Amino acid sequence: MQSPLSTNRWLRAATLVVAGALQTFTLSPFELWWLGPVSVLLILLACIPLAPGKLFRAGWLAGIGLFGSGASWVYVSISEYGNTSVPLAILLTVIFVVGLGLFHALAFWAWGKLASTSAVRRLILFPAIWVLGDWVRSWLLTGFPWLYLGNAHVDGPLGGFAPVIGVHGVTFLVVASGAVLYGLWWLVKEQRRGAAGVAALLTATLWLSGPALNKVAWTTLDSEPTTFASMQGNIPQQIKWDPDFLRDQIVIYLGLTEEFWETDLILWPETAIPIPQDQAGKIIEYIAGELGDHSTLITGIPWYGFSDRIEDFTFHNSIMAIGNGSGTYHKQKLVPFGEYVPLQQYLRGLIGFFDLPMSSFSRGPENQPPLQANGNGVMPFICYEVAYPDFVARNARNAGLLLTISNDGWFGDSIGPLQHLQIARMRALETGRYMLRGTNNGVTAIIDQKGRIAETIPQFTRATLQGEVFSASGSTPYMQSGSWPVLTLAMILIVFVRERVIPPRA
């Protein structure tokens, strides 16, 4: 099953980098979802006949193409807000991209080892290996659950499968479709047009069933709406933690809320109150006094206090409910270097990037209950947490509304915040619940239970979003099972399709 892309070393290398980059274009803000199977087809054309060692390099190149095009926005936070020189920021970004590419490299190497001689086995195993590689990347070393091919289908034909099998399942279908394209190329080349026609028909049926499945109402929305308002302060990141501007930030958010104190649910973004709760008593009391009898304000706020769990004082990135609501949630999924510094005893002080403001947070406890707002359970996710599909699905079970706050000011006008919004939309689609998104500088939005944007306000503006949201009851299949069905299928394929090496007789 050789092709010109697999035999010419330089053409193969260029094809793999381009194929990886094409996956970025399936996602926001480009949203060319149809490029997903095309990317997979190009990778297979370049890789099917390669030995495991060469597959390691091939996977690395594809990963560098993906993360170099889709995640290099970290340069903005490192260079512009990390007090780091341009050459060093470039070096750190390259290390980040190359390091992430290793996930693909190892997955491709394992793929070659499991099917070292049979092209057919490799073709069948490829979707399984891809999804397991994505899954490992979602948790290893705290995880980087970003740039999944399935995210593109929040607006694509396969989106209807998301409430059933989640984003990893949708990714499996996309990669399998690319494998079918490769199989069609080979079948036509071998003049087996009948088999090619059957494979094309089955794949087309799968893709056409997605929109029909998207019409299924997996959850039930309340008949009575909840009025909602979210304030986008557009605070410049350069002054976010400057003590001289802390009071001004509070005044900005109070001013944006002035006409909305009677709204049922009010949302301020991540660390909108930029001082710990033990120092913000007067601010919290003032907000509580201004709120209507049936109004709840939920805001991001740092939290400092004694933890019974570890019997020590801890510092958290948190969110709390004020007014006709209750509860405080401490962020569990912390961003390395942004919210905590691994090996900080060795790294702090070396360069400015390792001393970012608010990079000493502690991880919140597991199984925290939802916030309560006007009798509704509201499950919050702070910034990066919304990117973890199984984490969100599991925590959404006891809440009728989902909420995410963020400060994407760290990433300027890059594509990172738009990818972040798309990820939040996928979580809404997977769980059949409204997702309320409050950000410092965009994109603030109301996302409905089908992952569609109901209301939004532009990035980099100081404004208030208002609208109506509906609490949901019931669960989608994905909320109950998580990603385990598709991961189990992947493992079954590996067990039964992999090549078995029979040792020679003595």
> How crowded is residue 12: how many other Cβ atoms within 10 Å of its Cβ?
22
Annotated catalytic residue 282: no
Give the CB-side neighbour count of residue 395, counting CA atoms within 13 A: 28
As a whole number of angstroms, the distance between CA 17 and CA 13 comes to 6
The C-alpha angle 453, 172, 202, rounded to 5 degrees, equals 100
In the chain, the largest separation of any two C-alpha atoms, in whole Å, equals 85
The sign one gets for the Cα dihedral 151, 464, 320, 271 is positive
Annotated catalytic residue 47: no
Q: State the amino acid at position 293 in one-letter form.
A: D
Coil, helix or strand for 328?
strand
Phi/psi-derived region of residue 323, left when phi > 0, alpha when psi is between -120 and 50, beta in every other case: left
Check 270, 339, 385, 430 and give the catalytic one.
270
Coil, helix or strand for 74?
helix
Q: What are phi and psi of 412, to 5 degrees?
A: 55, -140
Check 331, 339, 385, 450 and give the catalytic one.
331
Residues 41-75: b if buried by 16+ CB within 10 A, e if exposed: bbbbbbbbebeeebbbbbbbbbbbbbbbbbbbbbb
Quick one: which of 125, 132, 126 has its CA closest to 148?
A: 132
Judge contact between 274 and 295, C-beta under 8 A.
Answer: no
Q: How would DSSP label each residue in 237-271?
A: GGGTT-GGGHHHHHHHHHHHHTT-TTSSEEE--TT
Check 383, 385, 430, 450 and give the catalytic one.
383
Tell me which residues are annotated as active site.
270, 331, 383
